[in-house]
Amino acid sequence: MTMTENTIYQDRVTLRLIQFAVVWAVVAMTAGVYLAAELIWPTIDFGQFWLSFGRLRPLHTNGIVFGFGVSALMATAFYSVQRTSHVTLFSPRLAWFCCYAWQLTVLLGGLSLLAGWNTTKEYAELEWPFDIAIAVVWICFAVVFFGTIATRKIRPIYISNWFYGALIIVIAMLHIVNNLALPVSLNKSYSLYAGAQDAVVQWWYGHNAVGFLLTGGFLGMVYYFLPKHAGRPIWSYRLSVVAFWAFVYSYIWAGPHHLHYNSIPEWVQSLGMVMSIVLLAPSWATLINGVMTVSTAWEKLRTDPALKFIVLSLAFYGLATFEGPMMAIRSVNVVSHFTDWTIGHVHSGALGWNAMITYGTFYFMVPRLVGRELYSTRLANIHFWMALAGTMLYIIAMWAAGVSQGLLWLSVDQLGELSFDFKDIMSSMTPYYLLRLVAGLVFLGGTVLMAYNLFMTMKGREPVAVTPPPVAPAFGVAS
Amino acid sequence: MTLFLFFGDMFVMAFMIGLVVWFINRDDDAVIDEVARIPLEDEQHHG
């Protein structure tokens, strides 16, 4: 094949998105560590509103989900959709627009949160100007992704693209519906929904943002990068397709488990609970598929830090997707809700699953993209153990704190009065919060090591030229 | 309500089983194996 600009995979935008994702990881995790410290020493906001917990916390979550997570998902989606379609990106200029417009939106949105602009909807805190900007960039992302699929040279659409496609379609739907609002000024709007309906719509959005962005999108990463890195096809392709349809069909119903014992109909709560338990099946189908794929490549785990991260992320994925359905059971939720157990659960997914699969994927992609060995395998191995130690410490501390809180809050004396004062319970949490702070510092330290390692690997390099191989006649698309 | 949830679950299960049966009968093993190999054979390096 003659190598022209039109036949070379467009990897420059992928590399830039990886750089942005790494920067967001460091920034947003630093905010998280500071927040952990504020929960122990509340006065370290120094009386500054922008440093207060209420303003810094949404910066932490938005920075991780939209800055780090979405940048990583865009990078890996652009990388894999070209390769699995045997064609270059549809409209590279639009892909560059997505890259920079997204960073600008998240950056200005983050600053607006520090300034106190906030819709008060969790994970949807950004005010209406940013909601519109997000919708515009997301639609452009959809055009690039589905345009590449539409112009593909290979007939089958590989399974990772189904997951990325579901991510793009469902997040667009959730974002637009949940953020419908009436603006009254540049920095204030009122939701079109009220009361219990607002809560149901918000958690339909909130849970499925977790489902389709932090789970579905990252499963797309697993299905492409795990077989590629292990050098073996996915263990059961049929199982992956069944898992995909079961996943999209079940997940969308599970949101009401966030509203147990709230003022919404009991049958809605029950439906959310049942569908959350059903979700265990597709989640673990992927887990089994992933572990079986790597089961014939165990020897690579000794020497390959990228594969270590990917395999460990699967273990945490299995843990988090077991814990989630258990916490959705109402009798368990009565203990866990509003406690630090939930924070532990979220971080077993965010640190153990999302961050580790992304780290493994970046360690795999960057050396291949720039055609150079990783700057330091030793640093990557140190990072692996820091990430594992940080995650384990974090979730153990939060489990212990959360279960204690839940049981102490429910404890009543013979007269039916609360046995423990809320303030005393929270004061007794300090040792757990100190452990969480240490865990956060260790995890952040590992991420800084990765940032240094990856930037040294990329330093002074441009992406190497890679083109699609010839397509087998049986799979070719008639042109 | 219990019946509603029961039939809802059964509907989901029927959907899943139907999906599996449809997919298993759709393509033969050789084709599926080839599709699964797509990520392993999707790059041609130069220089």
Q: Looking at the predicted structure, is the pLDDT value of residue A398 above 80? A: yes
Cβ atoms of A340 and A401 closer than 8 Å: yes
Note whether residue B45 is domain-resident: no
Q: Which residues are within 8 A (CB) of A176 and not within 5 positions of it... i.e. 6 or more apart?
A: A135
Share of chain A above pLDDT 70, in %: 98
- In chain B, the residue whose alpha carbon lies closest to the alpha carbon of A229 is B40
For residue B18, give its domain range.
2-38
Number of domains in chain B: 1
Q: Looking at the predicted structure, is the pLDDT value of residue A71 above 60? A: yes
Q: Looking at the predicted structure, is the pLDDT value of residue A2 above 60? A: no
Residues of B with CB under 8 A from a CB of A: 1, 4-5, 8-9, 12, 15-16, 19-20, 23-24, 31-47
Note whether residue B43 is domain-resident: no
| Spatial separation of the C-alpha atoms in residues A418 and A380, rounded to whole Å | 50
pLDDT band of residue B2 (cuts 50, 70, 90) is low
In the DSSP assignment, the letter for residue A477 is: P
A-chain CB neighbours of B19 within 8 Å are 242, 245-246
Mean pLDDT, range B15-39, rounded to an integer: 81
Note the pLDDT of residue A477: 73
* H or E element that contains A239: helix A237-251
Which two three-digit tokens encode residue A441? 């510092």
User: Minimal Cα–Cα distance from A181 to chain B, Å?
Assistant: 33
CB contacts < 8 A (A, B) = 91
Note whether residue B47 is domain-resident: no
Note the pLDDT of residue A137: 98
Q: Looking at the predicted structure, is the pLDDT value of residue A182 above 60? A: yes
Q: What average pLDDT does the structure give for chain A?
A: 94
Strands A466-467 and A188-191: unpaired
Q: Which of A3, A8, A238 to mutate to test the interface with B (most CBs of B within 10 A)?
A: A238
Q: Which residue has better confidence, A475 or A429?
A: A429
Identify the CATH homologous superfamily for domain A12-413+420-461.
Cytochrome c oxidase-like, subunit I domain (1.20.210.10)
Share of chain A above pLDDT 90, in %: 85
A positions 215-254 inside 8 Å of B (CB):
224-225, 227-228, 231-234, 237-238, 241-242, 245-246, 249-250
Whether the pTM exceeds 0.90: the reply is: yes
| Spatial separation of the C-alpha atoms in residues A467 and A452, rounded to whole Å | 29
- In chain A, the residue whose alpha carbon lies closest to the alpha carbon of B28 is A238
Note whether residue B44 is domain-resident: no
**How far from chain centre, in Å, is Cα A99?**
17
Write the pLDDT tens digit of every residue in A403-413.
999 999 999 99
Write the pLDDT tens digit of every residue in A423-461.
899 999 999 999 999 999 999 999 999 999 999 999 999
Q: Which residue has better confidence, A298 or A388?
A: A388
Write the pLDDT tens digit of every residue in A325-368.
999 999 999 999 999 999 999 999 999 999 999 999 999 999 99
pLDDT band of residue A240 (cuts 50, 70, 90) is very high
Q: Looking at the predicted structure, is the pLDDT value of residue A264 above 60? A: yes
Q: For residue A94, count other CB atoms closer than 10 A to its CB.
A: 17
Q: Looking at the predicted structure, is the pLDDT value of residue A97 above 60? A: yes
Q: Looking at the predicted structure, is the pLDDT value of residue A58 above 70? A: yes
B-chain CB neighbours of A245 within 8 Å are 16, 19
Bridge partners for A189 per DSSP: A183
B-chain CB neighbours of A474 within 8 Å are 31, 34
Contact B39 A83 (CB under 8 A): yes
Does A26 lie at the interface with B, CB-CB under 8 angstroms?
no
* Rounded (5°) CA angle A303-A308-A312: 160
Note whether residue B30 is domain-resident: yes
